[in-house]
Structure 1
Amino acid sequence: MAGSGGRRGPLVADKRYSKAPAKPKAKPAAKRTTSKARKPRPPRRFGPILGPIIALLGFVWRIVWGVGWRFAAIIGLIVGIATFYFYSTLPEVTALLDGRFRGSVTLLDRENKVFAWRGETFGGQITAKNVSPHLKNAVIAAEDKRFYRHFGVSPRGIASAVRINLAAGRGPFSGNGGSTLTQQVAKLLCLGVEYDPQRWKTEADYENDCRSGGVKRKIKEVPYALAMEFKYSKDDILTIYLNRAYLGAGARGFEAAAQRYFGISAANVNPAQAAMLAGLLPAPSYYAPTNNLQRSQDRADTVIKLMNEQGFLTDAERETAWANPAVLSEAAQKRAGGYFADWVMGAAPDFLTTETTEDVIIHTTLDQRIQAAAEEAMQTVFETKVKAGSEAEAAIVVMSADGAVRAMVGGRATKVTGAFNHATMARRQTGSTFKPFVYAAALDMGFTPDSIVEDAPLTIKVPGSGNWSPKNYTREYRGPITLTEALTHSVNTATVRISESVGRAAVKKVAEDFGFASDLADGPAVALGVSESTLIEMTGAYAGILNGGSSVRPYGLTELRLKGDSEPLFGTPGGLGERVISEKAARELVYMMHSVVENGSGRRAKLPDRQVAGKTGTTQEARDAWFIGFTADYVTGIWMGYDDNRPLSGVTGGGLPADIWRETMLRVEKGLPATPLPMAEPSEWRPKSAPQWQGETWSSEAQPLGPGNTKTDWSQPADQQPRRVEREPAPPPAQEPDLAERILLEVLGTIIGN
């Protein structure tokens, strides 16, 4: 085929076969290559043994690194999501400041001064900007010196904590946790988990769970702390901490603690006080100054040292703070009225006291001066008159004649809360302190202090129990004696004769109406105090004698109101009740009880400058010893015994109990004017023609009570005795005219005389 006239190029076949292929020139062998040029291997340096090991380690490292950064990325993503979630759930700061589940109860004395708190008190909202700068610095120095520099979590702090724990032989996260202040706030907020009674039995269980340590808790704290750092400022976080931290003695937050321990606001604490408050944080109850002041001061010294090292205090300020340690306020030092406060709390409904969700104010009858006097008196007697190591207990109640309790000491350990209160809880046999009720019944029926009763051996048939023969403490008998002598010397046989004469039912009725426990014995031994009662009941019954014969209900609460309210929810106007015996009988009984102190078993209770009336009591085998007495101002009851009811050694009611009574009243009455007792004088009941005892005969035909009295057969049970009309007076030594007749005779005598 012709072309276009040009030269035809060679065909492919021509190229391929026109001539033999030329033999290529020899070239140096080319290196095998890949898509990427491979660098030459470095010469081996580790030898045939070490080299493979290093290579293996390198291989492992490449695997770990490859897995590690991917795992870290996943963890970071999870932490980020968790942080974002917590961030979205965090409320405003103000909603987190009061962390209490229940309200508080503040108790005020009769002068409206605080003497006790119950529940968790909250002193009011404070901020990091309005508290004392010393307090802010003390908290930072003691708890987290890098607080303003970290982002909520401190890897350095955690590493340091792990090292400390391991060195101490603990687990890496057991003990010191290395938590930042932000993480501590996260714990206080329980990571946003609300209390659920279905999950936790009590709030205490809930809080313990919130504050538990361990790896899982630490992991949860991290995103919550980060969320707080994003949501709030550093001062906001510190503000939450200052308001929610528990600082012992029921104080929630630094404002409540400053008021509780020092009686001032958190805005006004000095460096020493700030250091003491900050020092409470690791173990509030252990370091509480109300628990052990010296231990709290030692801890504060450590915080002061930290404040100095971190530049918050100069050397001079440090030395000044060390030289002038913080001390408790006067009210905090006294911690007066713990037993009284517990008793008053039980007098109001639980929903307003132990279970209140509001802050409650209770006004009481407590007199802190009298309370301190009672506590000091008990301590003095036990230190000076009781052998060392004695386990004997004692209790004191001081009240006014209307039943207003002014002081209460429920045991030898005076500065306690929630302890067993021997004054209100211990039911013990009363012994001879019951006898005044026997004589009260007799006097109210017309007997007089000069009425005669026989002190001689006595046997009474008790149905179902056989014969019963009471014995006197001295095992001696005085023969015919007056009622005053019988009470003065606590004569058992004479008292039983009086009880049987007026009737046991009448005696029990008088005792119960005066406030004695209602479960009284039925037999003739009731007159000797075999029944049980509490010290506060007995003291209240004696108050009825002092006030002229009206019953009282011992009380301590006068008014209860919610904090901030102007009107009280309820109150107690007083404790006076119905009249039990006549005023005349009460005045005569006071005279007889005055004789007990002046001439009888209560002589050790005498006061140097004023009249005293009272009665001793010692139960069988001296298991209980009592003295209850009064001046014109106050009624005071003393009980002493062992908790296990074993006998006291060498103690009677006229001994140590009378000593405690005297020491108490010397302090209580100090500075008060001496006021005479409201007692009758002999001229008020002794007519001019009253019969007189002359040796073994009487100057009139009247016969004394006892054997030989034709109206009483002591060999028969009391319920089979011939009785007079109910409440008719038993015959006195002479047939004295009744009150109306006496008035008439006096009027006639005056007319005739004129």
Structure 2
Amino acid sequence: MSGNGRKSPPLVADRRTASTPRRTGGSGGSGGKTARTKAPAAPPRKAKAASAPARRGRGAGGGPRRPRGPLGWIVAMVTGLFRWVVRLVWGVSWRMGLAVGVIVGIAVLWTASRLPPITDVVDQRTRGSVTLLDRDGEVFAWRGDQFGGMVTAATVSRDLHDAVIATEDRRFYHHLGISPRGVASAVRINLREGRGPLDGHGGSTITQQTAKLLCLGRPFDPALWDNETAYEADCRRTTLWRKVQEAVFAMAMEVRYSKEDILTIYLNRAYLGAGSRGFEAAAQRYFGKSAAQVGPAEAAMLAGLLKAPSAYAPTSNLARAQGRASLVIGLMEDQGYLTAAEAAEARAAPARLSRAAEARAGGYFADWVMDSGPEFYTRNTTEDVVIRTTLDPAIQSAAEEALTRVFSESVREGSEAQAAIVVMSADGAVRGMVGGRDLQAAGAFNRATQALRQTGSAFKPFIYATAVEMGFSPLDTIQDAPFCMNVTGSGQWCPSNYSENYRGNVTLTEALTHSLNIPAVKLSEAVGRDLVAQVATQFGIESDIAQGPAVALGVSESTLLEMTGAYAGILNGGSAVLPYGLVELQVMGESEPVMAATGGIRERVIREESALATTWMMWNVVESGTGQKARIPGWEVAGKTGTTQAARDAWFIGYTADYVVGVWMGYDDNTPLTGVTGGGLPAEIWHETMIRITDGMTPTPLPMLPPRGTGSRLEAQSRAAEEAGQVVEQALRDALIDIMGQQ
């Protein structure tokens, strides 16, 4: 220690470094000795005195000092345990991840190796489609799943291609089949909206959606599923395991097929509402054009259907479909597929339905045609079938408009009364059909073809046609007065007129004109009720005809289609017709039709003169009788009203020279109509229908034959009959006496 009180610098030993012997100049030089050098002395270290606060809490390494005592021991133990757990989890995780990755990779490659060629999966339908054409060859209805032919990602319009990508999977060309980002976003949205993580938004890529459309490669098997509906519902199930399978299948598709191939499958198999499968079928269904021809507005509407096909179908709600399309146009603009000007133009001129799709004509008619054709070519066809029909769209629209107008103007609001209309040519070709007030119905109860109802006085023309055929004249007279007869097994039966009034001696024409019941019963019994039933059956009333004398009052049941067809037989001169709507059925792609019309004119039932005379009598019904509300200025109209007991059914069936129109009105549950007879609302509906049908047509005279003695002679004959009676009346009385005596 020096005397100045300062600390002496620490003693530092000289640094020595071992020098390596170095040879210089061979054996000479330094005589082979190793040269040593002294390292320079290190500068003296300055000792810094660390302050006490700085020293506290730090260890020898300068880091945080570990607490001493029990606390330090606990901290050390927890820290060590945590590090051990992290190392364990990491070690297990990367090994498991590697194992899962290997397993998934093997599964993907194995699945990819089993995928069929692209052409085999574009269309794997098990059912076919039916397209119905009207009499002019225009499409008016579809039944079954519509496919419309194969398209590819390259053949559809560029707007449609871009709209699908922008709407469903904007990163389609950049992922390997699944999008973790999309799945995470969908799960977050579902949870935020209070649903399960897999409910609602799925975050699926187009590839995953295509995998689901292919049902992960499982074809329809009738042994496993009752029908295709159950099969498709099973394919759409969403579970965690199904999502895993879907992801594997999607990645396998990415390995096996190109992006364009996957998009092609999707474009051909996606369901787009109204029975259309694939974008070609949908474009034809809604716009009447190919998927290669649709523009931005139409493409946006089609792509918008993918979210909810039934809800956004333009045939269900056009405004809703257009609103959805506007959102798709925005997505296309945001992603650069449309310029601002193109997007504005598409919004300003939104897509609209084709004429056929907008009209949706002939729902009931189409159902009837489908039911009348062979099942293996209609309801259960595995082929794509085209059926040409007899439907006239203008006539169909006329019938629908007439029904709508009368019910809106003449029927109380809230009424559940129903009505049906059939329009037919004289040869039985059905030109229009309305089966109920719900004009847009498909697959619904068809009151024109399926409802068996009592015919009431609409049955009477067959009685008078039979009488004329047997030699009676429309001018022959008959007594309209209270009348009773004994019916075997029932006792005495006393029919009455609807009005409870009686006219005395009347001609057969007057009796039919005013729909008198007593003369109808007497005439039916005179000519023979069995013969009346035979004539009615031969004219096309296939339902059972009542056996008793009340058959004359229309207690037998029939359908509107049968009755209209039977009247057509009177119009065409006395030959029966078989109503038909199918003209030709052809399998798509084949040159020859599979079948042709099976309906039309059949055998003759009564002589032409008898039919012409019956038409003349029915012309009087409209001119001066119960059917006056059906008159059309400038046209000759023949027809007959019908009202059943308690007014449960009301009919009017009439015809011009060109068309027969039948109208029925009533309640499905047989509730009596209030204040309605056949000459009321049914005749009004008939009139409104025919006014529209004949608009612009040149009036054609009815094929009718007035009897000799018409006009003044008829009046004189009636007066003479009232004073002295006629031979025919006496013959009728004698016949009735004989009949009642036999009973």
TM-score, length-normalised on structure 1?
0.87
1:514 aligns with 2:545: no
Q: CA deviation at 1:198?
A: 0.9
Write the distance in 1 (CA, Å) between the matches of 2:483 and 2:726.
24
1:682 aligns with 2:707: yes
Which residue is equivalent to 1:385?
410
Q: CA deviation at 1:67?
A: 2.0
Task: State the secondary structure of the residue aligned to 1:626.
Answer: strand
Write the distance in 2 (CA, Å) between the matches of 1:466 and 1:544.
37
Write the distance in 2 (CA, Å) between the matches of 1:40 and 1:352.
91
Q: CA deviation at 1:416?
A: 2.1
Which residue is equivalent to 1:233?
258
Which residue is equivalent to 1:713?
737
The one of 624, 644, 662 aligned to 2:669: 644
Which residue is equivalent to 2:589?
564
Task: State the secondary structure of the residue aligned to 2:173.
Answer: coil
1:553 aligns with 2:581: no
User: Any gaps of 5 or more consecutive residues in structure 2?
Assistant: 1-59
Task: State the secondary structure of the residue aligned to 1:560.
Answer: strand
Conservation of the 8 A alpha-carbon contact between 1:260 and 1:332: yes
Which residue is equivalent to 2:277?
252
The one of 189, 198, 201 aligned to 1:173: 198
Conservation of the 8 A alpha-carbon contact between 2:506 and 2:718: no
In 2 relative to 1, CA 467–73 (structure 1 residues): closer, same or farther, beyond 3 Å?
same
Q: Map Cα deviations across residues 626-670 of structure 1 (whole Å, 9 max, x no partner).
A: 110000000010011111111112111111111111111111111
In 2 relative to 1, CA 719–547 (structure 1 residues): closer, same or farther, beyond 3 Å?
farther
Q: CA deviation at 1:574?
A: 4.5
Which residue is equivalent to 1:355?
380
1:672 aligns with 2:710: no
Which residue is equivalent to 2:498?
473
Q: CA deviation at 1:701?
A: 6.0
Write the distance in 2 (CA, Å) between the matches of 1:71 and 1:567.
64
Write the distance in 2 (CA, Å) between the matches of 1:504 and 1:180.
74
The one of 657, 660, 668 aligned to 2:682: 657
In 2 relative to 1, CA 226–209 (structure 1 residues): closer, same or farther, beyond 3 Å?
same
In 2 relative to 1, CA 630–45 (structure 1 residues): closer, same or farther, beyond 3 Å?
farther
Q: CA deviation at 1:317?
A: 1.6
Q: CA deviation at 1:41?
A: 12
Write the distance in 1 (CA, Å) between the matches of 2:66 and 2:673.
94
The one of 180, 188, 192 aligned to 1:155: 180
More displaced 10-residue stretch of structure 1: 72-81 or 619-628 = 72-81
Which residue is equivalent to 2:629?
604
AA at the equivalent of 1:419: A
Q: CA deviation at 1:706?
A: 8.6
Which residue is equivalent to 2:246?
221
More displaced 10-residue stretch of structure 1: 470-479 or 67-76 = 67-76
Which residue is equivalent to 1:86?
111
AA at the equivalent of 2:737: D
Write the distance in 2 (CA, Å) between the matches of 1:514 and 1:73.
82
Q: CA deviation at 1:116?
A: 1.1
AA at the equivalent of 2:89: V
Write the distance in 2 (CA, Å) between the matches of 1:358 and 1:703.
63
In 2 relative to 1, CA 649–687 (structure 1 residues): closer, same or farther, beyond 3 Å?
closer
Task: State the secondary structure of the residue aligned to 1:424.
Answer: coil
* Alignment of structure 1 residues 463-542 onto 2, 5 Å: 463-542=488-567
Conservation of the 8 A alpha-carbon contact between 2:526 and 2:735: no
AA at the equivalent of 2:137: N
Q: CA deviation at 1:699?
A: 5.7
Which residue is equivalent to 1:329?
354
Percent identical residues: 60
Write the distance in 2 (CA, Å) between the matches of 1:253 and 1:718.
75
Which residue is equivalent to 2:214?
189
Task: State the secondary structure of the residue aligned to 2:106.
Answer: helix
In 2 relative to 1, CA 713–529 (structure 1 residues): closer, same or farther, beyond 3 Å?
same
Q: Map Cα deviations across residues 286-329 of structure 1 (whole Å, 9 max, x no partner).
A: 11111111111111111111111111112222221111111100
Conservation of the 8 A alpha-carbon contact between 2:111 and 2:249: yes
Q: Map Cα deviations across residues 523-546 of structure 1 (whole Å, 9 max, x no partner).
A: 111111001000000000000000
In 2 relative to 1, CA 143–703 (structure 1 residues): closer, same or farther, beyond 3 Å?
closer
Q: Map Cα deviations across residues 345-396 of structure 1 (whole Å, 9 max, x no partner).
A: 1112111111111111111111111111111111111112111111111111
Q: CA deviation at 1:692?
A: 2.2
Write the distance in 2 (CA, Å) between the matches of 1:701 and 1:223.
96
Write the distance in 2 (CA, Å) between the matches of 1:201 and 1:227.
29
Write the distance in 1 (CA, Å) between the matches of 2:164 and 2:189.
22
Write the distance in 2 (CA, Å) between the matches of 1:587 and 1:569.
38
The one of 319, 322, 333 aligned to 1:294: 319
Write the distance in 2 (CA, Å) between the matches of 1:44 and 1:311.
60
Task: State the secondary structure of the residue aligned to 2:172.
Answer: coil
In 2 relative to 1, CA 689–639 (structure 1 residues): closer, same or farther, beyond 3 Å?
closer
The one of 397, 413, 416 aligned to 1:372: 397
Conservation of the 8 A alpha-carbon contact between 2:207 and 2:250: yes
Write the distance in 1 (CA, Å) between the matches of 2:714 and 2:321.
75
In 2 relative to 1, CA 184–697 (structure 1 residues): closer, same or farther, beyond 3 Å?
closer
Which residue is equivalent to 1:741?
none
Write the distance in 1 (CA, Å) between the matches of 2:486 and 2:539.
29
Write the distance in 2 (CA, Å) between the matches of 1:50 and 1:437.
110
Which residue is equivalent to 2:330?
305
Task: State the secondary structure of the residue aligned to 1:453.
Answer: strand
Which residue is equivalent to 1:77?
102
AA at the equivalent of 1:514: F
More displaced 10-residue stretch of structure 1: 464-473 or 544-553 = 464-473
Write the distance in 1 (CA, Å) between the matches of 2:725 and 2:650.
41
1:408 aligns with 2:414: no
1:341 aligns with 2:366: yes
Conservation of the 8 A alpha-carbon contact between 1:186 and 1:224: yes
Q: Map Cα deviations across residues 2-60 of structure 1 (whole Å, 9 max, x no partner).
A: xxxxxxxxxxxxxxxxxxxxxxxxxxxxxxxxxxxxx9896556965666555444333
More displaced 10-residue stretch of structure 1: 83-92 or 253-262 = 83-92
Conservation of the 8 A alpha-carbon contact between 2:122 and 2:268: yes
Which residue is equivalent to 1:269?
294
Q: CA deviation at 1:173?
A: 1.0
Write the distance in 2 (CA, Å) between the matches of 1:502 and 1:401.
27
In 2 relative to 1, CA 40–89 (structure 1 residues): closer, same or farther, beyond 3 Å?
farther
Write the distance in 2 (CA, Å) between the matches of 1:421 and 1:689.
44
User: Any gaps of 5 or more consecutive residues in structure 1?
Assistant: 1-38, 721-754
In 2 relative to 1, CA 178–298 (structure 1 residues): closer, same or farther, beyond 3 Å?
same
In 2 relative to 1, CA 718–551 (structure 1 residues): closer, same or farther, beyond 3 Å?
farther
Task: State the secondary structure of the residue aligned to 2:381.
Answer: coil
Conservation of the 8 A alpha-carbon contact between 1:135 and 1:278: yes
1:438 aligns with 2:463: yes
In 2 relative to 1, CA 62–640 (structure 1 residues): closer, same or farther, beyond 3 Å?
same
Conservation of the 8 A alpha-carbon contact between 1:691 and 1:699: no
Task: State the secondary structure of the residue aligned to 2:219.
Answer: coil
Conservation of the 8 A alpha-carbon contact between 1:393 and 1:641: yes
Conservation of the 8 A alpha-carbon contact between 1:44 and 1:51: no
Task: State the secondary structure of the residue aligned to 1:121.
Answer: coil
Conservation of the 8 A alpha-carbon contact between 1:691 and 1:700: no
Write the distance in 1 (CA, Å) between the matches of 2:730 and 2:250.
88
Write the distance in 2 (CA, Å) between the matches of 1:433 and 1:142.
59
Q: CA deviation at 1:135?
A: 0.6
Task: State the secondary structure of the residue aligned to 1:552.
Answer: strand
Task: State the secondary structure of the residue aligned to 1:208.
Answer: helix
Q: CA deviation at 1:74?
A: 2.0
More displaced 10-residue stretch of structure 1: 618-627 or 92-101 = 92-101
Conservation of the 8 A alpha-carbon contact between 1:365 and 1:404: yes
In 2 relative to 1, CA 99–42 (structure 1 residues): closer, same or farther, beyond 3 Å?
farther
Conservation of the 8 A alpha-carbon contact between 1:691 and 1:698: no
Q: Map Cα deviations across residues 389-421 of structure 1 (whole Å, 9 max, x no partner).
A: 111111110010010111111111112211111
Conservation of the 8 A alpha-carbon contact between 1:86 and 1:227: yes
